[in-house]
Structure 1
Amino acid sequence: MQYVSTRATAESSARNPNHFSDILLGGLAPDGGLFLPAEYPRVTGAELDAWRTLPYAGLAYEILRKFATDIPDADLKALTAKTYTADVYRNARAGDNPADITPLRELERDGDKVLVLQSLSNGPTLAFKDMAMQLLGNLFEYALAKNDDELNIFGATSGDTGSAAEYAMRGKRGIRVFMLSPHKKMSAFQTAQMFSLHDPNIFNIAVEGVFDDCQDMVKAVSNDLSFKARHKIGTVNSINWARVVAQVVYYFRGYLAATTSNDQKVSFTVPSGNFGNICAGHIARMMGLPIDQLIVATNENDVLDEFFRTGRYRVRKSAETFHTTSPSMDISKASNFERFVYDLVGRDPERVRALFRKVDTEGGFDLSGAPGSDGDEFAKVAGYGFASGKSTHADRIATIRNVFEKSGLTIDTHTADGVKVAREHVRAGVPMIVLETALAAKFNETIVEALGRNADRPSGFEDIESLPQKYVVMKPNVDEMKTFIAAHTGL
């Protein structure tokens, strides 16, 4: 399996790494693009049939071995078996079996219209990010140990990526984590999960700005190739290919658990801000998984919804980005969107470079085909199964209440955005699976507003907000950030 950059030139293609292990520890390609397989591997009906009875770890191995062809099979099987255990994913809801890892639960049924929740938040930080991040931690440790090397992870979070990364990398040999987050813009629970860690290899940096400011700094540092090499910088944000491909697995698991034969199709609704989670669904569909629709659910920061309705991709400035009650989606520049655009424009890297130069200089591009637009590729979007919708604070409050009244289940704010939009797109005869974002306890302030009571908390999280916190506050200044990293890496 070889990999290409979305912005490759003839020169950069010649020097870019080609295999999974080569790109595992990095983020952006040296030319500033994102890595994708040169060709998507295809899955046969016979393989789907054989995978129906596999445990989650076995399914993860079968899918990942199609992408990580340079990792010995025995090593990859051991890594997935170590990662996906009932002990790691032990925070299942009452009635769910932790051994299922990502259990399905029917939320509602209206005749042939069925809405299903896929639980992805049973891991150590109670968010779907654990599904990929736990594997990433084990993969990183494996790769570094083979070469007696070390890695300084530099990432950004709008809420859940940071804690998932830090919990996955705690105690990992040769790894330090520098994690940026928008100062005072996460929930109290999310903040406490990150800032209460006092491990010597964890550095939490609260940036005076929004998530996009944090993400821009990660990209700026990644694009400084000499600094990146000298300080051995890697990333765990979803610009890292390994994290995206690990998320492909639960689309297959959801499909196999919701169907009995390969003649059936399902749809997925995915709360989305940075496009990484639903990008994994796009990849699963390109591999041949029988997905009908991929529904992008946004909050008030509706950059992606606007594109999938109109063909116009218009990045918002920091001052235009709303601080909402589904804060992990308070993103106005979707990093992984470039991977889909690469496929949409026929895998033409020159075209991708031109479009994203326009994002940098003019704030967006227009593929609607209207007079004066930048192209007409929006007409092809439906062929990839994409549609979208938007949810507001009032919507998520109403949805949390309604789901609780109907099923007794308390869902978090982001998942509520997903359920609200899913209801607008569900089709008869096609199960609609909503991917859960997090457990409700992580956004307790809004749960209290919606239900008048606290969300249930798994054991061990009862009083996390009162723990001592360790972090530094910095302005969104790339040079100051580089100085901070250099001072704490010892390199």
Structure 2
Amino acid sequence: MQYASTRGHAAAQNFSEILLGGLAPDGGLYLPTSYPQVSGAELDAWRGLSYAGLAFEVLKKFATDIPAEDLRAIVEKTYTADVYRNARLGEDAAQITPLRVLEDKDGRKLILQALSNGPTLAFKDMAMQLLGNLFEYALAKKQAELNIFGATSGDTGSAAEYAMRGKKGIRVFMLSPHKKMSAFQTAQMFSLQDPNIFNIAVEGVFDDCQDMVKAVSNDLAYKERQKIGTVNSINWARVVAQVVYYFRGYLSATTSNAQKVSFTVPSGNFGNICAGHIARMMGLPIDKLVVATNENDVLDEFFRTGVYRVRKSAETWHTTSPSMDISKASNFERFIYDLLDGDAARVKALFGKVETVGGFDLSGQPGSDGDEFKKVARFGFQSGKSVHADRLNTIRQVEKNYGITIDTHTADGIKVALEHIETGVPMIVLETALPAKFNETIREALGRDAERPAGFENIEALPQRFEVMTADVEKMKAYIAANTGL
């Protein structure tokens, strides 16, 4: 399996080579030169597998350069009931991502897939735990070190830090928008005292943090000298690890490969739903992929109109589903590459326009950049938007109707899912996090605190260690260099 950049960089890269690198040298994102296909016979054979067994079968199609016995050992080490111990929805932790049918009447079936049983109580653990073990394996092979430089709007940071803490040869430098995460999210990250973890609170919004990660990654000499890698979903391994739970959700919700399902995915950076797009391109029988946004509705606007219009920092809302407070969706470039039939030159030109004029227009209207929006339906995408009042109402209704408490992002997903659910096609909503991570809004919606898993009772009271910095790329480079000794 070989990989190429969405912007045309040569395709002589294998999985292990791009694992540690993040962005391609031309600033694009890596994709396989062709998507591996999954047959009906394979799907039948996979129905009885454990999550680790399924992960092995999916990942070996992409990581063809890793010996099968090594890859199997890595996934079996990762996907255990001990690691994903926060079982909920009345299911056994050994299932890793259990399903709960919320509604099944009049031919309409609404299903919630639990993805937040990992150590940081968010879906990011599903890929990040694997990424930590893959990094450790690859670095040991090379006797090398890696300095991870990433950005988070809330959950990526803690998931990465918990996955990488104590890992030999790895340091983590994680940017987050200062005072724009929930108190729980902030405490999860900043309370870590491990010497290989560095938290930097940036005066700005998530997009300012993400822009700095890309700027550092595009300085190829600095990146090489400081051994910079990334755990954001610009990293291909992060995305492909998330592909696995789409297969698990489908296989758990159906009894025959003749059936289709749809997925609704709360999304800001397009990484989570991009994994669903990849699963669909591999042949998984997905009908619709529904993008659910919050007030920061860049993606909803595109899937309604064909216009991709990035918001400036001052136009990016600070909301009660803060992990989606993103106005520049990094992984969107991977989908646009497929929408343009792999035309890397056009992808490079369009995303050049994102940097210079703030977006592009594929609506086909006079003066637009093309008419490819007419092909979006071929890929199954739909979208919708949820705002604060919607998520409060959805949290209340789900508690009343189904007896469970959901987090704010999952509420956005359920609200939008109910607008797109169709008779005869089960709709699976991907859970984002446990509600304890957003207790302020749970209290507003339900008048009580969210239940906390054991070990997180007083996390906000723990001592915190972090640096506050401005969004200055050169100062950030100096800070990383000073703390690596390289």
Which category of TM-score, normalised to the shorter sequence, fits these structures? Answer: over 0.9
Give the structure 1 partner of residue 466 of structure 2: 471
Q: 33, 48, 61: which one pairs with 1:66? A: 61
1:370 aligns with 2:370: no
> Which amino acid in structure 2 is aligned with residue 300 of structure 1?
E
> Which amino acid in structure 2 is aligned with residue 4 of structure 1?
A
CA distance in 2, matches of 1:256, 1:109: 18
> Which amino acid in structure 2 is aligned with residue 210 of structure 1?
V
> Which amino acid in structure 2 is aligned with residue 360 of structure 1?
E
Give matches, 1:122-271, under 5 Å. 122-271=117-266
> Which amino acid in structure 2 is aligned with residue 105 of structure 1?
R
CA distance in 2, matches of 1:420, 1:477: 38
CA deviations on 1:87-117 (whole Å, 9 max, x unpaired) are: 0000011511100000000112331001100
1:46 aligns with 2:9: no
Q: 336, 345, 352: which one pairs with 1:341? A: 336
Give matches, 1:56-95, under 5 Å. 56-93=51-88, 95=90
Give the structure 1 partner of residue 97 of structure 2: 102
CA distance in 2, matches of 1:445, 1:106: 27
Give the structure 2 partner of residue 387 of structure 1: 382
> Which amino acid in structure 2 is aligned with residue 324 of structure 1?
T
Q: 16, 19, 22: which one pairs with 1:27? A: 22
CA distance in 2, matches of 1:56, 1:227: 39
CA distance in 1, matches of 2:300, 2:89: 34
CA distance in 1, matches of 2:337, 2:320: 32
> Which amino acid in structure 2 is aligned with residue 6 of structure 1?
T
TM-score by length of 2: 1.00
Give the structure 1 partner of residue 280 of structure 2: 285
SS at match of 2:412: helix
Q: CA RMSD of the aligned region, Å? A: 0.6
TM-score by length of 1: 0.99
User: Does the CA contact (< 8 Å) of 1:270 and 1:277 recur in 2?
Assistant: yes
Give the structure 2 partner of residue 4 of structure 1: 4
CA distance in 2, matches of 1:31, 1:42: 28
Measure how far apart 1:490 and its partner are.
1.0
Give the structure 2 partner of residue 359 of structure 1: 354
Give matches, 1:284-363, under 5 Å. 284-363=279-358
CA distance in 1, matches of 2:377, 2:67: 38
CA distance in 2, matches of 1:20, 1:89: 26
User: Does the CA contact (< 8 Å) of 2:270 and 2:329 recur in 1?
Assistant: yes
> Which amino acid in structure 2 is aligned with residue 78 of structure 1?
A
CA distance in 2, matches of 1:6, 1:417: 30
Measure how far apart 1:18 and its partner are.
1.3
Gap runs ≥5 in structure 1: none
1:458 aligns with 2:443: no
Give the structure 1 partner of residue 436 of structure 2: 441
Measure how far apart 1:251 and its partner are.
0.1
> Which amino acid in structure 2 is aligned with residue 226 of structure 1?
A
CA distance in 2, matches of 1:91, 1:426: 29
**Aligned residue-pair number:** 486
Query: After TM superposition, where is structure 1 displaced by more than 3 Å over at least 4 residues in a row?
Result: none
User: Does the CA contact (< 8 Å) of 1:17 and 1:23 recur in 2?
Assistant: no
CA distance in 1, matches of 2:200, 2:280: 37
User: Does the CA contact (< 8 Å) of 2:89 and 2:100 recur in 1?
Assistant: no
User: Does the CA contact (< 8 Å) of 1:153 and 1:177 recur in 2?
Assistant: yes
CA deviations on 1:407-457 (whole Å, 9 max, x unpaired) are: 110000000000000000000010000000000000000000000000001
User: Does the CA contact (< 8 Å) of 2:110 and 2:426 recur in 1?
Assistant: yes
CA deviations on 1:171-219 (whole Å, 9 max, x unpaired) are: 1000000000000000000000000000000000000000000000000
CA distance in 2, matches of 1:59, 1:102: 12
> Which amino acid in structure 2 is aligned with residue 87 of structure 1?
D
CA deviations on 1:364-405 (whole Å, 9 max, x unpaired) are: 000000011000000000010000000000000000000000
Gap runs ≥5 in structure 2: none
CA distance in 2, matches of 1:238, 1:422: 24
CA distance in 2, matches of 1:408, 1:457: 16
CA deviations on 1:320-356 (whole Å, 9 max, x unpaired) are: 0000000000000000000000000110000001101
1:409 aligns with 2:400: no
CA distance in 1, matches of 2:466, 2:349: 39
